[in-house]
Amino acid sequence: MGCGAAEWACPVNGCRRHRESGAERERRARTEAGGGMVGWEKGLRIRFEPGRCWLEEEDVDTPNRRVLITGATGLLGRSVYKEFKGNNWNAVGCGYSRARPMFEQVNLLDTTAVHNVIQDFQPHVIIHCAAERRPDVVDSQPDAASQLNVAASGNIAKEAAQVGAFLIYISTDYVFDGTNPPYKENDAPNPLNLYGKTKLEGEKAVLANNEGAAVLRIPILYGEVERLEESAVTVMFDKVQFNNKSANMDHWQQRFPTYVKDVASVCRQLAEKKMLVRYS
């Protein structure tokens, strides 16, 4: 009996609250409490006595700084979500195929769905991590990749501007041609592959729709992976661990592996500095 959650257990198996995500529970609690996005809000706690149990409303202290993270199920997005959540931010993560039950399931190509989640949550900050980053998929499905990496990014930037949210767009060092690394912010981009081209076009779409947005060009990432193919640092091990054959690797690429927790910390520091300037 009950779903076993400390704050949101349900007295009947299969009830709506048993099935909904954590983000949906928070949103429903705000609605049932008559709105209000920050501060003290109404939550539900299950109470037990011998022979009976019931749900009871109680005040819940919600952090008043709100951040929305797209791509929260990915290698970087998970770390960004944990970084904000662990530093007194009201964080909501968005995902798609792997979103439930922890995150909001949002199709970023659905402009209405994106509009609704941003208008409902009213974030102060949006970290846009979601992208089609697999070069082989980008090459085989260029239109779909462009829709996600360019069109969806521009739409998120527009929606962020409408609610006054500070947007951080996660881009890539693939916008450069690699002839003269390491690169600085003002170096001229010259992407060589389609993935780099779509991310550069995404940068332009973001800044065209939201001039106050920040763009972070991130190198190759590593961190706590759920699957070895999540990171180019670990994907090679996936190819050789159960295979007696050697794997081909070039000896000329110069890469700068970056720890996802460091990127997440930078995102949070940027957000907090922006909040400090805006509200001081």
Q: Is 195 a residue of the active site?
A: yes
Instruction: Please choose, from the candidates 121, 203, 119, 130, the residue with its C-alpha nearest in 3D space to the C-alpha of residue 162.
Output: 119
Backbone angles phi, psi at 63, to 5 degrees: -55, 140
Q: Write down the catalytic residue from 183, 195, 222, 279.
A: 195
Number of C-beta neighbours around residue 233 at 10 A: 16
Joined together, the tokens standing for residue 187 give 């170096």
Q: What share of the chain is helix, strand, coil (3-state, %, to 5)?
A: 40, 20, 40
Bridge partners (DSSP) of residue 66 are 90
Q: Using an 8 Å Cβ cutoff, are 6 and 44 in contact?
A: no
| Whether residue 182 has a cis bond before it, omega within 30° of 0 | yes
Could you list the active site residues?
A: 195
